[in-house]
Every structure is written in structure tokens, then in C-alpha cells.
A and B are shown apart, each in its own frame.
Chain A
Amino acid sequence: SQQGEEDPQALSIQEGENATMNCSYKTSINNLQWYRQNSGRGLVHLILIRSNEREKHSGRLRVTLDTSKKSSSLLITASRAADTASYFCATDGGDSSASKIIFGSGTRLSIRP
């Protein structure tokens, strides 16, 4: 089964609005990463957040991590058409298998003009 599960599975918003995606995972982690995948640029790394960090920003992206709830969220502000893509969270397996990266099932984000 997947370590990380994104919610919602699909999201459609108007250009300019904010988009929030959530990721829940099952075991303890060392790091959590967010990736974006679209047909034009393939799979691209967005942000890596470590287990001792609570929030991280990169441009219009904001990631939070709550290890007590085993969850993370990705906020994209002022969305653009180019943000249309699938977004995945990826976690390591915790102490027992730290090297193994486990991807969630993804959130498909569509930006309406």
C-alpha cells in the first residue's frame, strides 16, 4: 500500500485562486518531498521538508508538515495555467528503510482560465 496518500484526488480551480493539496502518510519519516508532473516537463522536484521543519516556502509554494498528524500540505498561491499538473508527495520509509522513496497517488490539479 502507498505510504503517502494525497487528498483530493482531483482539484479544479479558477486561475488566480489558491490551491491546497494534502498528503497523509503512515509511518515516521525523515523527509517529505513534493513533486509535480506534467506532460511538458515530466516529473519535477518542488520542495523537500525535513521532519524537524514545520513550514517551507519556495516562490508561490508553501509546504507545511505536521509529524504528529503524519500529514503535509502544499499550497500554491495565485495559480496560473502552467500549474496544471499532477502533484505527488514522496516520503522515505522511516528508520527501517530510509532509502526507499514512496510516492503517493497524486492530486490532479486543473487551472481554468
Chain B
Amino acid sequence: KAGVTQTPRYLIKTRGQQVTLSCSPISGHRSVSWYQQTPGQGLQFLFEYFSETQRNKGNFPGRFSGRQFSNSRSEMNVSTLELGDSALYLCASSLGTAHSYEQYFGPGTRLTVT
């Protein structure tokens, strides 16, 4: 069974630009969650999608948004990029809701904002 894939793996953007990250979950998994990891703040929950519906959202500004498609693939978008958005963005999929099921993480997208 293929694991969680994330594209692109590395990205360099300029302040003010926007970016879209993609996540393909494990086949059969209906929940996709997104996390931001930085040295200063650690791993922080962004949002979780289940069957195309956003179930929960972390404490991030509205510049961070996401969506899930009918095939469970998910995208997250960050608009008006700031230097502080530089981070490793991790996507995880699970059979059911993230807090009750084992999450399988992708390798992440390393975003650098200059």
C-alpha cells in the first residue's frame, strides 16, 4: 500500500506570494490533517478534513485554508506569505478521525519564504 505523498517536497517563495501544497492520503483513508512544524513552535495543528468537510481548525489566521476532494486528496493554501510561514508542512491521513485513529504522515513540504 502506498504511503502518504506530498508535493512539492521543497518550495521557495517570496513574501506576499501565495502557495498551494498537495497531499494524497493512503487509499481508503477518509481523514486528512495538516500540521505546521517549526523549531520555535513545534508541531501545530492546522486543520482536519473528513469526507470533504473541515472538522476542526487550529489557531491560524485566515490566510491558511484548505480543502479536500471527493477522492480524499487534500490541498492547503497560504496566501500573502510572511517570513514566519517558513516551516515544514506535514500532512497525515487516517481511517477515521485523527484523534481516534493512527495517523500516517507524509514526508512533508519544506517551505522557505524569503
Residues of A within 8 A of B (CB): 2, 30-31, 33, 42-45, 48, 88, 90, 92, 97-106
Interface contact B105-A103, CB-CB below 8 Å: no
Complexed CA–CA distance, A50 and B45 (Å)? 20
Q: Mark B86-114, 1 if CB is under 8 A from A, else 0.
A: 00001010000111111111111000000
Across the interface, which residues of A come within 8 angstroms of B33, CB to CB? Answer: 101
Interface contact B108-A98, CB-CB below 8 Å: no
Partner of B103, one of A30, A45, A97, A105: A45
Nearest-CB distance from A12 to chain B (Å)?
20
Nearest-CB distance from A96 to chain B (Å)?
11
- What number of residue pairs across chains A and B have CB atoms under 8 A from each other? 56
Partner of A103, one of B43, B48, B97, B106: B43
Residues of B within 8 A of A (CB): 33, 35, 42-45, 48, 55-56, 58, 90, 92, 97-108
Task: With CB as the reference atom, state the residue of chain B lying closest to A100.
Answer: B56
Partner of B56, one of A43, A88, A99: A99
Across the interface, which residues of A come within 8 angstroms of B56, CB to CB? Answer: 97, 99-100
Please classify the interface of chain A as helix (H, G, I), strand (E, B), loop, or mixed, using the class held by over half of its residues.
strand
Complexed CA–CA distance, A103 and B90 (Å)? 13
Nearest-CB distance from A71 to chain B (Å)?
18
Interface contact A99-B97, CB-CB below 8 Å: yes
Nearest-CB distance from B22 to chain A (Å)?
17
Task: With CB as the reference atom, state the residue of chain A lying closest to B103.
Answer: A45
Complexed CA–CA distance, A80 and B16 (Å)? 46
Complexed CA–CA distance, A43 and B98 (Å)? 14
Complexed CA–CA distance, A97 and B55 (Å)? 10
Complexed CA–CA distance, A107 and B65 (Å)? 30
Nearest first, the 7 closest Cβ-Cβ pairs linking A and B are: A92-B99, A103-B43, A99-B56, A43-B105, A45-B102, A99-B55, A100-B56
